[in-house]
């Protein structure tokens, strides 16, 4: 029986051991970034210096896997050259594609490095086929990563109306999912993924432990209080519990992770080119666990899509790693839309 | 990641912490500081991350063992602290099994944190530096002992 074509598996690499874990456990491609604010996971001690980058690219490409470099923050006033240098560096290193969000940078990359394959980052916030086709027409973008706001039917509509490959998120921490357009971190701290490469930067976060509870503050703003047995999440405004009209609850989003295992056959059927795993900030252990699980699921789908069934062991493994210890189909499943 | 050999989640009997808390704590501090200095000397810990630790104090508390290790990093060396600092810059707290799972790269620190098995109090950014520094270490291959094989 012919093997069914399944989406590529794109896994996060925040360090060299994480990159190797992704490759060793079956990723088709890894995405990574420089150790600076040109990418949206600019965390202290994370990411690749030049030496690690060279070694990582060699490790992946010698095993016929791809390396995608995220340069997906927005060039800041007076510093456009830093972002242009990052693109020049990526081209010189021979990465398989760069993932860009800034329209100015897309223009720079397409005119200075016409052979460099361009992906539109989720931070570029293209949610319609018109937006995706614009990036294709103007800059020759070959793939677009869709923000996590669309239902599966809406993703299908985009795919049917564009020549651009479509990549969607398959697993990882969820936020309010309005990628590239979210102001919550800026509201609380004055800094955001688009500007400094980090949502709710760690220097603004304070965990306070007292008997029986833990409180989280972001730049002094009380985000949440957890009892000792309650699962915790990342300290972002969107995952805080707030008092709204006399009730205290997760007013914006619960701490949770996206998991598409259940709809994997549908994702393959509508022609999604790649699924992405969130989590460059997570450890090599997480990368190995998620990659291994999704690889097993995709391989099973490829060999027999009629009989594909989600195994309880896969679900259990992924739920354990999840923020707030729970998973969701997120926006993919909105029957009321 | 360690195939075929995994550390289970366990909790030491409460008697252990009751006794452990009454034992002198400085040997833990000395042992941990010595181990960290050895790792530095082997070039396992990246220098640009180490400079961010300069002058900071740390406490690692193993809850169910009733033990804690206190140390600081000054002038390129990890130094044991013989009494616990009043307000350390960073304090990690977990049970022994969680620390062992972290060291063996069997569990992800964020997973343990979400599940409330690991607590981090103090300078959050410093905590991130340490976490990412340890994640980036390429530990030398251990000799393949029969016990680690399938």
CB A133 within 8 A of CB A164: yes
And the tokens for A90?
């990526």
Q: Which domain holds residue B66?
A: 14-137
What CA–CA distance (Å, rounded) separates B10 from B1?
Answer: 19
Radius of gyration of chain B (CA): 16
DSSP codes of every residue in A126-178 = --SHHHHHHHHHHH---EEEPPTT--HHHHHHHHHT-SSEEEEEEEEE--S--
CA-based nearest residue to A41, from A261, A234, A292, A170 = A234
By three-state DSSP, how is residue B131 classified? helix
Half-sphere exposure of A213 (CA within 13 A, CB side): 6
- Under an 8 A CB cutoff, do A203 and B124 touch? yes
Q: Establish if A18 touches chain B: CB-CB under 8 angstroms.
A: yes
What CA–CA distance (Å, rounded) separates A5 from A302?
Answer: 6
What CATH number should be reported for the domain holding residue B62?
Answer: 3.30.1050.10
- Under an 8 A CB cutoff, do B114 and A322 touch? yes
The listed CATH number (3.40.1280.10, 3.30.420.130, 3.20.20.380, 1.10.230.10) that belongs to domain A8-174+256-332: 3.20.20.380
Asked if the structure places residue B146 within a domain, the reply is no
Asked if the structure places residue B43 within a domain, the reply is yes
- Under an 8 A CB cutoff, do B121 and A21 touch? no
CB A289 within 8 A of CB A171: no
Residues A282-297: tens digit of each pLDDT: 999 999 999 999 999 9
Task: Give me the pLDDT at residue A74, please.
Answer: 96
CB B126 within 8 A of CB A278: no
Number of domains composing chain B: 1
Asked if the structure places residue B2 within a domain, the reply is no
Task: Give me the pLDDT at residue A82, please.
Answer: 97
Block residue for tokens 């960073």: B90
And the tokens for A22?
């992704």
Q: Is the pLDDT of residue A54 over 80?
A: yes
Q: Which residues contact A160 (CB under 8 A, 6 or more apart)?
A: A129
Which A residues 82-111 touch B at CB under 8 Å? none
Asked if the structure places residue B143 within a domain, the reply is no
Residues A224-264: tens digit of each pLDDT: 998 988 888 888 999 899 999 999 999 988 888 899 999 99
Which B residues 60-79 touch A at CB under 8 Å? none
Residues A133-171: tens digit of each pLDDT: 999 999 999 999 999 989 999 999 999 999 999 999 999
Residues A63-73: tens digit of each pLDDT: 999 999 999 99
Q: Establish if A231 touches chain B: CB-CB under 8 angstroms.
A: yes
- Under an 8 A CB cutoff, do B49 and A45 touch? yes
- Under an 8 A CB cutoff, do B136 and A202 touch? no
| Size (chain B), residues | 150
The nearest alpha carbon in chain A to B127 belongs to A202
Which chain A residues contact residue B121 at CB under 8 A? 207-209
What CA–CA distance (Å, rounded) separates A281 from A260?
Answer: 20
CB B90 within 8 A of CB B73: no
Break chain A into its structural domains and give their ranges: 8-174+256-332, 184-250
Element at B122 (helix H, strand E): strand B118-122
Asked if the structure places residue B32 within a domain, the reply is yes
Q: Establish if A320 touches chain B: CB-CB under 8 angstroms.
A: yes
Q: What is the pTM of this model?
A: 0.91
Which B residues 75-114 touch A at CB under 8 Å? 93, 105-111, 113-114
Asked if the structure places residue B7 within a domain, the reply is no
- Under an 8 A CB cutoff, do A205 and B108 touch? no
CB A186 within 8 A of CB A201: no
Q: Establish if A323 touches chain B: CB-CB under 8 angstroms.
A: yes
């Amino acid at each position: 029986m012919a093997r069914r074509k399944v989406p590529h598996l794109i896994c996060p690499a925040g360090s060299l051991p994480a990159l190797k874990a992704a490759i060793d456990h079956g990723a088709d491609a890894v995405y990574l970034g420089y150790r600076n604010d040109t990418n949206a996971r600019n965390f202290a001690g994370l990411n690749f210096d030049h030496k690690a980058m060279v070694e990582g690219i060699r490790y992946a490409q010698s095993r016929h896997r791809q390396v995608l470099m995220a340069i997906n923050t927005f060039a800041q006033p007076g510093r456009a050259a830093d972002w242009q240098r990052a693109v020049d560096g990526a081209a010189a290193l021979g990465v398989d594609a760069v993932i860009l969000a800034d329209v100015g940078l897309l223009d720079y990359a397409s005119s200075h490095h016409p052979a460099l394959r361009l992906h539109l980052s989720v931070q570029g916030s293209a949610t319609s086929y018109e937006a995706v086709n614009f990036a294709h027409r103007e800059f020759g973008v070959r793939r677009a990563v869709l923000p996590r706001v669309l239902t599966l039917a809406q993703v299908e509509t985009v795919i049917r109306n564009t020549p651009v490959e479509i990549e969607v998120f398959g697993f990882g921490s969820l936020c309010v999912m309005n990628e590239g357009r979210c102001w919550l971190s800026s509201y609380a701290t004055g800094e955001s993924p688009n500007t400094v490469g980090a949502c709710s930067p760690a220097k603004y976060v304070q965990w306070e432990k007292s008997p029986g509870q833990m409180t989280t503050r972001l730049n002094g703003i009380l985000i949440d209080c957890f009892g000792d047995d309650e699962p915790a999440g990342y300290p972002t405004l969107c995952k805080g519990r707030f008092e709204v009209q006399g009730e205290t609850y997760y007013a914006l989003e619960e701490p949770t992770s996206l998991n598409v295992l259940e709809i994997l056959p549908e994702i393959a059927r509508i022609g999604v080119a790649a699924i992405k795993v969130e989590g460059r900030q997570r450890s090599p252990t997480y990368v190995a666990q998620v990659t291994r699980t999704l690889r097993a699921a995709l391989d099973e789908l490829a060999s027999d899509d009629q009989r594909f069934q989600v195994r309880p062991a896969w679900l259990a493994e992924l739920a354990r790693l999840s923020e707030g210890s729970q998973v969701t189909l997120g926006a993919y499943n909105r029957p009321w839309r | 990641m360690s195939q075929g050999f995994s550390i289970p989640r366990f909790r030491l009997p409460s008697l252990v912490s009751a006794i452990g808390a009454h034992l002198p704590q400085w040997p833990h501090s000395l042992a941990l500081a010595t181990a960290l200095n050895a790792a530095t000397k082997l070039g396992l810990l990246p220098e640009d991350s180490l400079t961010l630790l300069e002058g900071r104090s740390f406490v690692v508390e193993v809850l169910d063992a009733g033990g804690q290790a206190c140390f600081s990093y000054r002038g390129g060396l990890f130094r044991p602290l013989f009494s616990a600092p009043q307000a350390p810059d960073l304090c990690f707290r977990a049970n022994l099994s969680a620390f062992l799972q972290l060291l063996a790269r069997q569990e992800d620190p964020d997973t343990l944190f979400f599940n409330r098995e690991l607590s981090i109090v103090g300078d959050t950014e410093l905590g991130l530096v340490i976490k990412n520094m340890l994640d980036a270490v390429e530990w030398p291959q251990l000799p393949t002992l029969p016990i680690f094989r399938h």
